[in-house]
Structure 1
Amino acid sequence: MSSDPGSTTVLQQQGFLPFLTARLAAVFAMQIQAVVVAWQVYDLTRQPLALAYVGLAQFIPMLLLLLPAGDLADRHSRKKILWLSWAVQGLCSALLLGLSLNETPDVRHYYAVLVLFGCARAFTGPTLQSLLPQIVPRAQLARAIAVNSMIMKIAVIGGPLLGGILYALGGSLAYAVCLGCFLLALALLPMARVRFAGGARPLEATAWRRFTAGIGYIRSRPIILGAISLDLFAVLLGGVVALLPIYAQEVLMVGPEGLGALRSAIAIGALLMGMVLSTWSLSRRVGPAMFVAVMVFGVANLVFAFSTLFWLSFTALLVAGAADMISVYVRSTLIQLATPDEMRGRVSAVNMLFIGSSNELGEFRAGTSAAWFGTVPAAVIGGVATLAVAGTWMWGFRSLLRVDRFSDVEPATGSAHRRQPA
């Protein structure tokens, strides 16, 4: 890593600070709302299965709409799409506020609002990721991604905590705060000046060809395919978040307070590493750095798997969060730099589809493995599998391993869909 004083001016880029503040407000709203609506639905039903439906109501529409959302982001103004998406999410907060004020006992109304919320979120993800390179110059994109990731971790850590406090004061107040955050985001976003948008190019004639163009481009670029699939399988096979309640209760004997600390350790590690990356840029051997980060992630999860000491488990998760931040930072930067502007929406949509699915399926994998083999063996298997994936990908995606500087990565031109050697 090296400190580059010239690149510290990323916050002075016209439009970046309003974009960052708007996104922070929107993420705070989403994090608060996620906690409050889950607790409220459970309070109304007292059925654990109802919580599964809360997640399902949002995940299914996102899964179905991500690819069309990416196509739309490549054909129209990304800033306008993002504004409309946040507006619909703000409407959902207003609807939840109304349901809470009316003390509606039927949870189906909440599920209906969450389906609409999931539809809006499908358009938020790929638009956000593909809009940032239009706001900051290419030379400062890596630092902008690091700053953006660090700031978002603040919302991920503080949002649920604030949501719990607000819910204790009243669910209606929490939804009102969410609505206020979305309104703030809508007010700030127009100030995010788009200065680096690529020129429009002819798109495929049929909707199906447009939707699948992102997949085709990723397949043609081993660097992107390797980065996405490495992160996907590392999270799918190595994640331990779903096992934390069992570890807290049966292995570490720390109770709910300890569980909260364990869950926060991953985010705190990521936040601290984000602060480092936003100050000291990763200037050389970025490809090897991603593989090392994934291997450190696997080793840290192995330490956690065998640990019976709370402080050691907390430290292991802290290291795992920091390593994951390096992996996310490198992956996100490589994807943006290796993708032409007119393809970023669709490529980002595929990336979100894979990564989002790995999070959901990873928790399912961890839970079923714990049921079949036991909690500790399940965690051990995940850590070993992560190391095996890293080793296999180093051999299978040598072009990713050979990436030295971010500036070495360029979008494919002309033969964008012709497969390149790994």
Structure 2
Amino acid sequence: MRLPEFRFLLMGRFVFIMALRMMGTLVGWWLYELTSDPLAMGLVGLAEAIPAIGLALYAGHVIDLSDKRKLLLRGVFSYLSCAFILLVLSYSFTHGSAKVIIVSGIYSVIFITGIVRSFTGPSFSAILAQIVPREMLANATTWNQGTWLTASVTGHATAGFLIAGFQTTGTLIVICSLIFIGLILLTRLLPKPPATIAGKQKTWESVQEGLNFVFKTKEVLGALTLDLFAVLFGGAVAMVPVFAKEVLKVGPIGFGWLNAAADIGAICIVLLLTFFPMKKAQGKKLFYAVGGFGACIVVFALSRTFYLSFIALLLSGMLDGVSVVVRGTILQLKTPDDMRGRVMSVNSMFINSSNEIGQFESGVAARLMGLVPSVVFGGCMTILIVTTTWFKSPALRKMEY
């Protein structure tokens, strides 16, 4: 924290991520109020995941060849523009515009944010190593993850209160203001020219080099794969608005706290790990954490009381926080400087697959199987995947750093 650039990066990222989490919470609530259909929220994930995953590998190549500060600022400004479009749509809806136009507009904006995210997300991770000396990188990664999670929980919880007090339009005004503040803070970073890379290397050759590194580094591949399939099946967050309204019978404030519960747990554990880092057996602890995460999802699905549901999501967030720290540290320590954009983009592709496509899977499963059975099924599949990966990936199981 003594490094000025690191402080500006953390502050700018905090405000920016808080705004994005508020936007995600708002869009889920807004769409469910417009459509009363769980699948509509699943389609939000698909709308963002398609461009984010489709452009991820190319984005990594561009990031490695670009000034990361400039690319980051362009991405944040693009998010600000998307939030402003949503603000205009919310104002139109209050004056009686057709719901189908508003819903189509929301999906279009989310699709655009998926394009922007494919460049912006990896840029935040790649720029970290150009700001912090390598000997501080592991600790800085934990601080960085803690900042992200703190912003996430703040955004989720605050959005619930803002929706209750100021409705959709007022909440979007706050979101636009926060993104603008984040943009101003990030302008304080110094230029970050690309690391040395073969100047005449073709795009596909560059992309292939990044993919080869990930697939040859077994610890990286194992951690990404475990996260991909565990969150793909075990992510219950997409269905929280439905549980809040239909099962637990709580309003926007209760919904906001349920949506924030996992992030509250995650930030608690990340803060603990910041001061008391794991010293050994990080690989095994990763498996235990993801398995416990799946069990918590099952408990959440079967719960009929608000407090038990909140505790189940809180514990799932704590266990997921362990996974986030271990995976993030492995990536930062194992990746060469001239490949950070490409490797972080592959990581982003895995995360987008697990979160956004997982959101779509949750919506489809809820439609086909019913709300509660679909979430129980997802939690059980997570436990099965952890068990299978335990035997299939001994390198990750034995990994220490």
In structure 2, the residue matched to 1:143 is 139
1:67 aligns with 2:67: no
For each residue in 1:255-277, what CA deviation from the matched residue of structure 2 results, as whole angstroms up to 9, or x when unmatched? Answer: 44655443332121112112111
State whether residues 14 and 193 of structure 1, in contact with CA within 8 Å, keep that contact through their aligned partners in structure 2.
no
The 1-side partners of 2:183 and 2:356 are apart by 29
Report SS of the residue matched to 2:400: coil
In structure 2, the residue matched to 1:27 is 17
For each residue in 1:332-388, what CA deviation from the matched residue of structure 2 results, as whole angstroms up to 9, or x when unmatched? Answer: 110121111111111111111122111233334445545555555544443333233
In structure 2, the residue matched to 1:354 is 350
Report SS of the residue matched to 2:201: coil
The 2-side partners of 1:393 and 1:145 are apart by 25
Q: Identify which range, 99-108 or 176-185, moves more after superposition.
A: 99-108
Offset, 1:158: 2.5
1:337 aligns with 2:337: no
The 1-side partners of 2:200 and 2:221 are apart by 22
Offset, 1:325: 0.5
1:184 aligns with 2:174: no
2:125 is aligned with what amino acid? Q
Quick one: structure 1 residues 323 and 78, their matched pair in 2 at CA, closer, same or farther if it must change by over 3 Å? same
1:218 aligns with 2:208: no
The 2-side partners of 1:341 and 1:298 are apart by 34
1:239 is aligned with what amino acid? G
Report SS of the residue matched to 1:346: helix
For each residue in 1:35-57, what CA deviation from the matched residue of structure 2 results, as whole angstroms up to 9, or x when unmatched? Answer: 455666777x6575766665554
Question: 92, 99, 110: which one pairs with 2:82?
Answer: 92
Q: Pairwise CA RMSD of aligned residues?
A: 3.2
The 2-side partners of 1:185 and 1:240 are apart by 29
For each residue in 1:283-322, what CA deviation from the matched residue of structure 2 results, as whole angstroms up to 9, or x when unmatched? Answer: 2222222112112222333444555555444323221110
State whether residues 294 and 383 of structure 2, in contact with CA within 8 Å, keep that contact through their aligned partners in structure 1.
yes
Report SS of the residue matched to 1:12: coil
Offset, 1:16: 0.8
Offset, 1:130: 1.1
1:392 aligns with 2:383: no
Quick one: structure 1 residues 349 and 204, their matched pair in 2 at CA, closer, same or farther if it must change by over 3 Å? farther
Identity of aligned residues (%): 35
Quick one: structure 1 residues 98 and 12, their matched pair in 2 at CA, closer, same or farther if it must change by over 3 Å? same
Q: Identify which range, 28-37 or 63-72, moves more after superposition.
A: 28-37
- Aligned residues between the structures: 392
In structure 2, the residue matched to 1:6 is none
Q: Identify which range, 361-370 or 287-296, moves more after superposition.
A: 361-370
What TM-score, normalized by structure 1, do the two folds share? 0.80
The 2-side partners of 1:186 and 1:151 are apart by 16
Q: Identify which range, 298-307 or 138-147, moves more after superposition.
A: 298-307
The 2-side partners of 1:402 and 1:170 are apart by 50
In structure 2, the residue matched to 1:234 is 230
In structure 1, the residue matched to 2:315 is 319
Quick one: structure 1 residues 314 and 54, their matched pair in 2 at CA, closer, same or farther if it must change by over 3 Å? closer
Rg (Cα) greater in structure: 1
The 2-side partners of 1:230 and 1:38 are apart by 27
1:192 is aligned with what amino acid? L
In structure 2, the residue matched to 1:273 is 269
- Which structure 2 segments of 5+ residues have no match? none
Report SS of the residue matched to 1:15: helix
For each residue in 1:207-227, what CA deviation from the matched residue of structure 2 results, as whole angstroms up to 9, or x when unmatched? Answer: 222233322211111111000
> Which one has more relative contact order, counting CA pairs under 8 Å at least 6 apart?
2
Q: Identify which range, 88-97 or 109-118, moves more after superposition.
A: 109-118
State whether residues 31 and 159 of structure 1, in contact with CA within 8 Å, keep that contact through their aligned partners in structure 2.
yes
- Which structure 1 segments of 5+ residues have no match? 1-10, 406-422
The 2-side partners of 1:98 and 1:309 are apart by 37
1:266 is aligned with what amino acid? A
